[in-house]
Structure 1
Amino acid sequence: MQLSLNPWITTPDESTEEEALEVHVPPAAVISTPLKGMVEPDTADRLANRTMTGTAALWVVGSHGGAGESRTADLLDGARPTGHCWPVLRDGSKPRVLLVCRADMRGLTTAQSALTQWASGAAPAVDLLGLAILADAPGKTPKALRDFTTIVGGGAPRLWTLPWVDAWRHGDSTTTPTAREYQRFITDVAALATETNPSTTH
């Protein structure tokens, strides 16, 4: 699992890995809110908005079909998928959002567009926790995709890269993956989703 700062606008600080591991909740990168002057993506590349009914501690937004939106939501208590749309809440409060995609070129490109949409202010007001990138196949990710993952993830407040889960291929979506990356991801997101935020209701 990789958690990175934002290479779009800054360079990682010089803190040691040991110091980073002591942080219970991953700190947000420099880009934690939309940026003035960021160019909006083309309309065709933007995620739509959807007014959501009911409540959730966290809304999981897939940047494309097959992103793993529903499976990720199943892993996280109080999370609900949005159907590949930015959530808009009826009460006007600011929803907490986790963006997810697959680690192939299509998935990463759509995630980059979604993050650009958010960073430019073209998305509705959301509290974006970060981006989770789910492996699209077993085995080692090709270097070109790993490099692009770093670039795309740099546009999110936080980045989690998650390994392939073979059980999901066979339809087992109820068992929590045992991989350390998933355990840490679930812990991180649970802590972030329950942080006090007056603009977000649970």
Structure 2
Amino acid sequence: MDNRWSDLVSPGPTPVHPLFEDVTEETVTVLRGASGPQRGVTGLSEDEGRLGRFLTDAHDVFWLGVHGGAGESVLAELLGGTACHHRWPARLDEEIQHAPAPVFLVARQNKRGLDAARLAARDWAAGAHPDVDLQGLVLVADAPGRTPKSLVAATRVISGGVPSTWVVPWIEELRLTGTVDWESMAREPRKVLTALGEAADEALSERTPQ
């Protein structure tokens, strides 16, 4: 099996978001990558900025910001779930079998954010977080307009190492007011957030006892 991490390996719930009928059938680009941890991926050392952990038995979706200002709190507010900021969720009692926690990594689509996302994704790929069922990576645009080619290229490389990658376009009102109104939101970010919310709902429903 091809190792999608060849460029990254170190040497040696009830939904709270509205769904928009006018956008749910439109295509949203989702980049697909590795579905699980892979052999040969080297984990992170302490000096590489490895993220911490927190204990929880919550039956929820978790949004994990891989750096400050990533946007995980906004996603949790809009789509439901828990913003766990810069820590991986871990289960309380290792002797009790728990379903892995569904986690979405969140980062800004800039150099700093992509570097942080690469490290967090590599940490997961090395098998360091058995309590986590990584759903993918959410990249939030940090500026209006066309994304620079270098960032697009880096996005594609990193997306190969996580199950799915969504890119949320620039939301001007979030910059100006700190909040988002679903009704007035521009069509493109609304499409992506609707699809992302559906993915979060599906991830949680798969773990809901029948």
- Counterparts of 2:26 and 2:169 in 1: how far apart (Å)? 22
Query: Aligned residue for 1:58?
Result: 61
Which of 126, 129, 140 is 1:123 aligned to?
Answer: 129
Which letter does structure 2 place at the counterpart of 1:112?
R
* Deviation by residue 1:14-53 (Cα, 9 ceiling, x = unmatched): xxxxxxx989999994511111221112223211111136
Which letter does structure 2 place at the counterpart of 1:87?
P
Query: Aligned residue for 2:77?
Result: 74
Cα contact 1:40–1:120 (8 A) shared by 2: yes
Greater CA radius of gyration, 1 or 2?
2
- Counterparts of 1:25 and 1:154 in 2: how far apart (Å)? 18
Query: Aligned residue for 1:178?
Result: 186
In the superposition, relative to structure 1, how do residues 191 and 66 fare at CA in structure 2: closer, same or farther (>3 Å)?
A: closer
Q: Which runs of 5+ in 1 are unaligned?
A: 1-5, 10-20
- Counterparts of 2:103 and 2:198 in 1: how far apart (Å)? 12
* Deviation by residue 1:112-161 (Cα, 9 ceiling, x = unmatched): 00000000012342111110100111121111111111111221100111
Cα contact 2:33–2:159 (8 A) shared by 1: no
Which letter does structure 2 place at the counterpart of 1:178?
A
In the superposition, relative to structure 1, how do residues 26 and 87 fare at CA in structure 2: closer, same or farther (>3 Å)?
A: farther
Alignment of 1:126-137 (within 5 A): 126-137=132-143
Cα displacement (A) at 1:179: 2.8
Query: Aligned residue for 2:153?
Result: 147
How large is the Cα RMSD of the aligned pairs? 3.0
Indicate whether 1:42 and 2:45 are aligned. Answer: yes
In the superposition, relative to structure 1, how do residues 189 and 149 fare at CA in structure 2: closer, same or farther (>3 Å)?
A: same
Which letter does structure 1 place at the counterpart of 2:206?
N
Cα contact 2:166–2:192 (8 A) shared by 1: no
TM-score (norm 1): 0.77
Which letter does structure 1 place at the counterpart of 2:163?
P
* Deviation by residue 1:169-198 (Cα, 9 ceiling, x = unmatched): 123424233333442343344245335535
Q: Which runs of 5+ in 2 are unaligned?
A: 7-23
Cα contact 2:118–2:158 (8 A) shared by 1: yes
Cα contact 1:134–1:164 (8 A) shared by 2: yes
In the superposition, relative to structure 1, how do residues 170 and 50 fare at CA in structure 2: closer, same or farther (>3 Å)?
A: same
Q: Does the residue aligned with 1:187 lie in a helix, a strand or coil? A: helix
- Counterparts of 1:27 and 1:137 in 2: how far apart (Å)? 20
Cα contact 1:24–1:188 (8 A) shared by 2: no
Which letter does structure 2 place at the counterpart of 1:59?
F
Q: Does the residue aligned with 1:50 lie in a helix, a strand or coil? A: strand
- Counterparts of 1:175 and 1:27 in 2: how far apart (Å)? 24
- Counterparts of 1:56 and 1:144 in 2: how far apart (Å)? 38
Q: Does the residue aligned with 1:71 lie in a helix, a strand or coil? A: helix
Size of the aligned set, in residue pairs, is: 182
Query: Aligned residue for 1:17?
Result: none
